[in-house]
Structure 1
Amino acid sequence: MLKIMNFLKVPNDNPALTVAQFEAFSKQVPLLYFILLTNMASLAWTHRDVAPAWLVIYLPSVLGIVFISRAIGWIVGRNRTVDAAQAYRKLRSTNRLAAPIAILCVLWSIALLPYGDSYQKAHVAFFMAITVIGVIFCLMHLRSAALVVTVLVNVPFFIVMVASGQPTFIATGINVVLVTFALIAVLLTHYRDFRQLNESRQRLLAQQEELTRQHREMQALSDENLRLANMDSLTLLANRRSFFDVLNRAFARAEEEGRRLSVGVLDLDGFKPVNDMYGHAAGDKVLVEVGRRLSGFARSDITVYRLGGDEFAIIHAGAHRDEDLLALGERVCQAVAASIDIGTSVVQVTTSMGFAVYPDIGTSGQDLYERADYALYTAKRTQRGGIVLFNAAQAKTLSRHREVEEVLMAADIEKEMSLVFQPIVDVATSRCVGFEALARWTSPTLGRVSPGEFIPIAEHSGRIVLITRHLLAMALAEARGWPGETFLSFNLSPHDIATPENVLRIISVVEASGFDPRRINFEITETAVTRDFAQAAKSIELLRHFGSGISLDDFGTGYSSLNHVHKLPLSKIKIDGSFVAQIDSRPASYKIVKSVLAMCEDMGLEAIVEGVETEAELSVLKDMGVEVVQGYHFSRPLEASAAQDLVQAEAGERDRRRVSAD
């Protein structure tokens, strides 16, 4: 019984199915009312002369108005979007209305049956049969209403037909009932298929929605990965990859539209000492704060990037004058130079900056960056903490730099590289106590190239390590002919002490030469130490354990000099010649040299003063207690044979004095 009642109700267990039923049903309801209206009008017309007016005029007119208004209402509203609740209410309303309409139509047709001849009575039977069949088809998407109409029409129709006693009517009643059962079976099958189709559609839509959701999630994940791939995780600025991607696209637009495009590259001066003194965590805080300050300059035409380490970049698109760029650089430098609180202390770093501008120079985004980077290199070399705009002079220098690099990479080091030796002199005796080996390069293509030019290029290209080992072997071969008390001073580059492997190769060269390592003094610049202080300290310790001396060269020209002196196992300090020039007339230089000498005495380190060029300078240094010097006042760098002659002559002179004394 419960199952039968469920068949007669509008289902509401599947909202999507309810909406689908409503959409399909709303298209057929106007046809339902059209069938009822035309069949009723036809039957009323055939009985107009035999039946009362209320049966053939008034009642059909009232029902016709109801049918027409209902049909219009469904036609007007069928294109409106409804939700499941609205669809259910409309279907349930129609289901409730089906019973009274069916009863009225049945009673009306039965009321007409007594009137007229056999043809007119047959028309009544036809009306009831064809109407119920049409209604069933129109109600196939509303199963409950179709079943209600079937029961309420067919049962009275069958009873009336059988009760008439006419064989034709009885056969008609039976025929209609049987056909109706078949139609109901078709209706139930259609409804089941409709439901299954709708459920399949829902599953398909659900799968599509799931695929869409997964696609959105994958797209979101891809976008996030792309964002992270283009973002520096420490400073949250766009990273090097993003910089070159944006730069290449911006350059293409600038080239197409004839606009100016500027690239600024900057790195921090004094950042390495912060890392060395306070640790990498403090260094990270400095980078984060600098990144935050640089972000303040970002706008629609200016983007900021961290390229790596302590190097940052700016892309400035649009029209701007060189003066505006330099002003921007000044503001950036001022912002970076403000004190930074790292928690345990307050530190300060500065920045140097280089700019390059298209279309003044540059044929590609990469080319523009390289020129800005070279402008930065020029700023750090000539005006640390300043701003340099790439110009024609730098373009010429860069062209020369690339030419030298290409030739150097292809050079035959053994044939083209040579050494000269500058005497290191004992002030008291004016005797040469050692030589500093200095590199020389004579290229078949370029001619003689200055060490100040090719050494930085060799360091930049990585070829310096090979050059160092070759020149060291040459220097040791020459030094084997010197008297036993004469030492060799040899310069190492930052690359030579950057790894334990490189230091061990240097030791191997010394061991292979048979030269006493205690007669070697390796010179290391303070710049080499600040690149990686921890590794530099290990390398120096290894060389000291080997027996060699270590000099800190160009002392006073780098950062945190005293800090390095205290922490490193040094044997000598070389006071830079810039402090010696005109020391006889510059009180500041006098005080600096005097302070360094006092420090060396306290720490038990030997001091060598380089760059002595005049007798006046030497006289002042003597009075200050300097013991060892070198410079043009005594000798320019000598060829190997001349150096050999010098030490042999001095040795012979000492022997003669010794014999005379005896």
Structure 2
Amino acid sequence: MNSFLASLRLQKDDPDFLKSQYKALASQIPILYVLLIINVLAVAITHIGTAPVWLSLYVPIGLSVTCLLRLCWWEIHGRDEVTAERAMTLMRITVVAAAVLTCAFGAWAVALYQYGNAYQQGQIAYFLVVTGISSVFCLMHLPLAAALTTVITFGTMIVTFMFSGNPVFVATATSGAFLVVPFLRVINSYYQNFVRLVRLTEELQKKQAEAQELNLVNSRNALHDQLTGLANRRSFFLSLEERLRAGSDAPPVLGIIDLDGFKPVNDVFGHAAGDLVLKETARRFMALIGDDGVVARLGGDEFGIIFPDDLAVSTIADVAHALCSAVREPFEIPDGSVRVSGSCGIVQLASGDHTAEELYEKADFALYQVKSKHNGGVEFFSPEHETILSQRHMIELELQAGNFADELSLEYQPIIELKTGIVVGYEALARWDSARFGRISPAAFIPAAERTALIGRMTRVLLGQALDALSAMPSRLRLSFNLSARDICDHETAMTLLAMIHRSGVDARRIEFEITETALLSDFATADRVVSLFRAAGVTIALDDFGTGYSSLSHVHRLAFDKLKIDKSFVMNLDRDTRCLNITRSVANLCQNLGIASVAEGVESGEVAEGLRAMGVRLAQGYYFSRPLPLSAAIDYAIERDKFAMTQQPLYA
């Protein structure tokens, strides 16, 4: 009963439901008026000549015209989009109209009942029942109107027939009385089902909207970097491929920018500060490139640029320099401000059929070239770069296809103790004499082996040769062996190398592994664990190319290296550049204070050797002492220097 009474009230607090209720009602009411007009005219026709003209003709015509007008209104305006307030107003009018028209039809039927024979009176009963049932089914979406119509129609029939004195009509009225409650229950049940259907539809629409929103978010995430809001790597390559398909005479101009010095920002100030730098960098780049170009974050601190098509060569260079200059401006973070710099590689080809991957590779190679100079700036991909890149591809193919392991060998460069002039050990340097290309520079094949993931196999082959060489050398000599970033950041490779040392029977203390700061920067946590394993086995560790990285002092402190190797770029300019002299002296003092050895690379004159000794540098190597030698010659060299050192000290030549 409570649910039925509640259904009789319009739900003012649910605008969406009101509009759904009105829309459903508007589709049914025209049918009701058509049925009413047909039934009214049918009754009127059978009573012409039996009842007065005004009752059998004028009244039904008036009722029919009223129904026709209402029918036309609903047909014209019933499908209009309405507000919740308008829907409520129209449904209230419909309730009133239903009550008024039902009373009018009921009164007319009762007035006709006293005329005609039993068949005509039966038709009146049929008219009232059909009108009531039609009203119930057509007004079910508006329970109050349906209930009023049911009560009025059946009430009129029951009262009229109950006092007719005709046993058949009395029985009909009695049956009708028992039908009122079931009809009201049907109205309530139908309405509740309608409510549930609307709620279910709303829920489905809500779920669909949420799914569409989620799809939009996923689509955005699939094509945009969530941190900076820029296009991501996938979107960048899609844009590049789309421009290539456009069929322009020249490929689009592509640039790749890498932030130099970004990792220390993360290490010192935390990732939140690094995120602020990346977001501000993205904003600065977008302000310079504008909407005609594409700025994307390709990953980490690497950004991709597709320059606008209408830029001239000189303008592109100016824009690229402006991008690098924008990066050099201070970045504000909660703890103050930080500075980084930027390097940019650009590929601008006059013509040719190129893929997106090829363009990216060329721009990346130009970036690598400019970063290798340690001074940032902008570099365009050149014909010379094309030659180098082609050679690199050939080397990579040769590494993958050929039996390069049989062509690898080692040469040994002496490491001299400056105070005594004797050889204390050697640095093992890899050599590759390809049957197809001849001798290939380590600067070419070592990076190629790292890119093709063959460096681990190469390291194992060369370490095996180095261990055999140590077995042949005098026991006092040590051997330095270079490990790549992949080697030092792979726990499994480290265990394999230690197992090789153990099987060889060589004293692990005669072995020194050299690692670069690049290896540490790639995965410091793993490198730290691997270094600890090596040191626990007795292997000493040297940091190679010291002074060229970004956080060397931090690494020296945390990893407790046994030796620092001063990069040859400082040593070779020692007698010409005061800054190189000061840096070398500072490193020598640092090593003395830490109680570890310093090794100078690239010594090419006696004056430099003497200067290094005077600074306190303990060890040195370079062409002034000897070029890298085959094993037998290296052993002979050590013996000869030992003999010479006994007769003359200090010895530098």
* TM-score bracket, shorter-length normalisation: 0.7 to 0.9
In the alignment, what sits opposite 2:634? 643
Q: 1:554 aligns with which of 519, 523, 545?
A: 545
> Is contact 2:236–2:294 with CA below 8 Å preserved after alignment?
no
> Is contact 2:513–2:541 with CA below 8 Å preserved after alignment?
yes
**Distance across 2 between alignment mates of 1:379 and 1:585:** 24
Q: 1:67 aligns with which of 41, 63, 66?
A: 63
1:345-384 aligned at under 5 Å gives the runs: 346-356=337-347, 360=351, 363-382=354-373, 384=375
C-alpha displacement at 1:105, in angstroms? Answer: 6.4
Task: Report Cα offsets for 1:583-603 as digits up to 9, x if no partner.
Answer: 444444434333433333333
C-alpha displacement at 1:443, in angstroms? Answer: 1.2
1:609 equivalenced with 2:613 (yes/no): no
Task: Report Cα offsets for 1:238-267 as digits up to 9, x if no partner.
Answer: 57xx52255236513541453854443333
Task: Report Cα offsets for 1:363-387 as digits up to 9, x if no partner.
Answer: 4333333333323222212364223
C-alpha displacement at 1:546, in angstroms? Answer: 3.8
Task: Report Cα offsets for 1:581-637 as digits up to 9, x if no partner.
Answer: 354444444343334333333333333332222345445546656554322223222
1:213 equivalenced with 2:202 (yes/no): no
> Is contact 1:375–1:394 with CA below 8 Å preserved after alignment?
yes
Q: 2:258 aligns with which of 263, 267, 276?
A: 267
Greater C-alpha radius of gyration: 1
Corresponding letter in the other structure for 1:349: V
Q: 1:526 aligns with which of 474, 493, 517?
A: 517
In the alignment, what sits opposite 2:585? 594
Could you say if the C-alpha distance between residues 358 and 182 of structure 1 is closer, same or farther in structure 2, counting changes exceeding 3 Å?
farther
1:147 equivalenced with 2:140 (yes/no): no
1:95 equivalenced with 2:112 (yes/no): no
Could you say if the C-alpha distance between residues 244 and 317 of structure 1 is closer, same or farther in structure 2, counting changes exceeding 3 Å?
farther
Task: Report Cα offsets for 1:509-563 as digits up to 9, x if no partner.
Answer: 3333333333334333333344344544554454444444433322322224444
Could you say if the C-alpha distance between residues 606 and 103 of structure 1 is closer, same or farther in structure 2, counting changes exceeding 3 Å?
closer
1:121-140 aligned at under 5 Å gives the runs: 130=123, 133-134=126-127, 136-140=129-133
**Distance across 1 between alignment mates of 2:424 and 2:372:** 33
In the alignment, what sits opposite 1:389? 380
| RMSD between superposed Cα atoms in Å | 4.3
Task: Report Cα offsets for 1:287-324 as digits up to 9, x if no partner.
Answer: 45545555656754444443333333345565544444
**Distance across 1 between alignment mates of 2:257 and 2:281:** 11
Corresponding letter in the other structure for 2:597: E
Question: What's the secondary structure of 2:472's corresponding residue?
Answer: coil
Q: 2:31 aligns with which of 27, 31, 43?
A: 27
1:410-559 aligned at under 5 Å gives the runs: 410-427=401-418, 430-559=421-550
Question: What's the secondary structure of 1:459's corresponding residue?
Answer: helix
> Is contact 1:489–1:521 with CA below 8 Å preserved after alignment?
yes
> Is contact 1:483–1:651 with CA below 8 Å preserved after alignment?
no
> Is contact 1:482–1:648 with CA below 8 Å preserved after alignment?
no
> Is contact 1:583–1:617 with CA below 8 Å preserved after alignment?
yes
For normalisation by structure 2, the TM-score amounts to 0.78
**Distance across 2 between alignment mates of 1:190 and 1:19:** 23
> Is contact 1:32–1:135 with CA below 8 Å preserved after alignment?
no
Corresponding letter in the other structure for 2:130: F
**Distance across 1 between alignment mates of 2:21 and 2:600:** 97
> Is contact 2:414–2:426 with CA below 8 Å preserved after alignment?
yes
Task: Report Cα offsets for 1:493-516 as digits up to 9, x if no partner.
Answer: 223322444334333333333333
Corresponding letter in the other structure for 2:99: N
**Distance across 1 between alignment mates of 2:256 and 2:108:** 92
Corresponding letter in the other structure for 2:242: A
**Distance across 1 between alignment mates of 2:417 and 2:523:** 34
Corresponding letter in the other structure for 2:395: V
Question: What's the secondary structure of 2:390's corresponding residue?
Answer: helix
1:243 equivalenced with 2:236 (yes/no): no
1:86 equivalenced with 2:82 (yes/no): no
Corresponding letter in the other structure for 2:389: L
In the alignment, what sits opposite 1:255? 245
In the alignment, what sits opposite 2:141? none
Task: Report Cα offsets for 1:94-137 as digits up to 9, x if no partner.
Answer: 43344455546655785xx7xxxxxxx76xx7665545534543
Could you say if the C-alpha distance between residues 394 and 361 of structure 1 is closer, same or farther in structure 2, counting changes exceeding 3 Å?
farther
Count of residues paired in the alignment:
615
Corresponding letter in the other structure for 2:207: Q
Question: What's the secondary structure of 1:78's corresponding residue?
Answer: helix
Tell which deviates more after alignment, 391-400 or 250-259. 250-259
In the alignment, what sits opposite 1:117? none
Could you say if the C-alpha distance between residues 320 and 548 of structure 1 is closer, same or farther in structure 2, counting changes exceeding 3 Å?
same
**Distance across 1 between alignment mates of 2:625 and 2:549:** 27
Could you say if the C-alpha distance between residues 530 and 87 of structure 1 is closer, same or farther in structure 2, counting changes exceeding 3 Å?
closer
1:405 equivalenced with 2:396 (yes/no): yes
> Is contact 2:55–2:108 with CA below 8 Å preserved after alignment?
no
Task: Report Cα offsets for 1:148-182 as digits up to 9, x if no partner.
Answer: 553576578x46xxxxxxxxxxxxx7777777888
1:329 equivalenced with 2:325 (yes/no): no
In the alignment, what sits opposite 1:660? none
How high is the sequence identity, in percent, across the aligned residues? 32
C-alpha displacement at 1:449, in angstroms? Answer: 0.4
Corresponding letter in the other structure for 1:93: A
Question: What's the secondary structure of 1:522's corresponding residue?
Answer: strand
Could you say if the C-alpha distance between residues 618 and 41 of structure 1 is closer, same or farther in structure 2, counting changes exceeding 3 Å?
closer
**Distance across 1 between alignment mates of 2:441 and 2:216:** 52
C-alpha displacement at 1:439, in angstroms? Answer: 0.9
Corresponding letter in the other structure for 2:71: I
**Distance across 1 between alignment mates of 2:532 and 2:21:** 84
**Distance across 2 between alignment mates of 1:246 and 1:86:** 56
C-alpha displacement at 1:193, in angstroms? Answer: 6.7
Could you list the runs of 5+ residues in structure 1 that have no partner in the other structure?
114-120, 160-172, 658-662
